[in-house]
Amino acid sequence: MDLVEVLPERLHMLRFPIGQAYLWRDTDGSLALIDAGHAGSAPAIEQAIRSLGDTPDRLGRIVLTHCHRDHIGAADELAGRYGARVLAHRLEAPVIRGEQPVPDPALLDWEIPLYEHGLTVPEAPPTRVDHEVEDGDVLPFGDGAVVVHSPGHTPGSIGIHLPHHGVLFTGDCVAGVGQVMLGVFNVDREQAQASFRRLAALAPSVACFGHGDPLTENTASVLLTATTSEPVLP
């Protein structure tokens, strides 16, 4: 796992072989984790926190943008060790808890081999959700973290917007792998495109994707342009 600074002292990306998570640090030293990597990655996340001079017991909440295995895998283990609260959208929570199956995506032909590669990530264990969020909820970190329901990738996908810092976590609605584009493996592509447009309209200065490097320059204009352009297919 790679640890990458996005904003000094505030925001770091934790990059796994497939997918990534983000660690936000408030001025009081409390930590929030946006997504949680794959199953078995808890020790690497703990080590990353310690390497920044923090301790994992400062981890107050783990916000899951959606139910896929590369985003929720270590959440239950970390929450169990350190008492962090796990948050996810109301529509996503039953899947994360293992009460409902993960929804099948409507794959485009070129997405099929990428999707099969993604299945090499260990299956996530059932994970508790302590707080089911809704669109517009404001969470107590980042000086007010706003939940943005962004369905299409999955029904309960969310983005997290920190308006006081100009930071947007898009989950897998938007990707930044080689280019900024609509994320792949969507259950409803048209709905995902509408969610992408809604996220872009927030005009952040920093955009943090579920896959691909964060966007930190000309972010608002790049996102807006990407909503109207077709991706260059692999």
Domain containing 165 — which CATH number?
A: 3.60.15.10
Q: Which tokens hold the place of 113?
A: 């081999």
The first and second tokens of residue 211, run together, are 């896959």
Phi/psi of residue 49, each to 5°? Answer: -60, -45
Confidence of residue 120 (pLDDT cuts 50, 70, 90): confident
In a domain, 105, yes or no: yes
Give pLDDT tens digits for 105-118: 999 998 899 888 87
Quote the tokens at residue 24: 């936000």
Predicted TM-score (pTM) of this structure:
0.96
In a domain, 187, yes or no: yes
Whether residue 234 lies inside any domain: the answer is no
Mean pLDDT calculated for residue range 174-180: 93
Q: What is the mean pLDDT of residues 19-30?
A: 97
Residues in CB range of 8: below 8 A, 6 or more apart: none
pLDDT digits (tens, 9 = 90+) for 62-79: 999 999 999 999 999 999
**Cα distance between residue 202 and residue 166, in whole Å:** 9
Host domain of residue 72: 2-226
47: in domain = yes
Question: How do 158-162 and 145-149 pair as beta strands?
Answer: antiparallel
DSSP state of 176: B
Q: Is residue 231 part of a domain?
A: no
Domain count of the chain? 1
- Position 233 in a domain: no
How open is the CA angle 205-175-92, to the nearest 5 degrees?
100
pLDDT interval class at 215 (50, 70, 90): very high
At 125, the amino acid letter reads P
Coil/strand/helix, residue 64: coil
pLDDT of 58 reads: 97
Angle between helices 189-200 and 219-226 (to 10 degrees): 160
Q: Which residue has the tokens 């981890």?
A: 59
Task: List the beta bridge partners of residue 167.
Answer: 162, 206
Q: 53 in a domain, yes or no?
A: yes
Structure-token match 């959208």, residue found: 89
Strand, helix or coil for residue 117: helix
Q: What is the DSSP letter of 40?
A: T
Rounded to an integer, what distance in angstroms lies between the CA atom of residue 38 and that of residue 75? 9
Residue 81 lies in a domain: yes
Q: H helices within the chain, ranges in order?
A: 42-51, 69-72, 75-82, 93-96, 112-118, 189-200, 219-226
